[in-house]
Amino acid sequence: MSKSEIAVLNYGDRLDVALAHGRRRSLDAGTLWIECPSAAGRRRRIDGTHTVVPLGLRITEVTEVGTYGLHVAFSADVRGGVFPWPMLIELSERPQVADFITPAA
């Protein structure tokens, strides 16, 4: 993936990812927060507090880490974490509510 295949949307509410097969998916900040592979994210999972998403959570910065993945920082944790590409792809391929909703005609 390249920089042109990712975008932060809605003032940091979502991260848009283009998959290899051309499908675009959005990952919300809360999902990334819950799944964050950082030490702080692991600590939240150990403590059982990882599902408590801070009110107003936003993605504040996204930078590529070579060919490894993306560093994502949050409004509630400026250090954030580094998400390897395979992890981002797996997260983006999980079924989402929008997959089950048919738009009104």
Q: pLDDT tens digits for 36-67?
A: 999 999 999 999 988 889 999 999 999 889 88
CA torsion sign for 51, 78, 17, 39 is negative
* 38 falls within a domain: yes
Predicted confidence band of residue 1 (pLDDT cuts 50, 70, 90): very low
Domain count for the chain, please give it.
1
* 83 falls within a domain: yes
Whole-model pTM over 0.85: no
CATH number of the domain where residue 28 is located: 3.30.2020.30
**CB-based contact 53:47 (threshold 8 Å):** no
Instruction: Give the domain extent around 13.
Output: 3-95
Q: What is the pLDDT of residue 100?
A: 75
Average pLDDT, the chain: 83
Query: What are phi and psi for residue 39, nearest 5 degrees?
Result: -60, -40
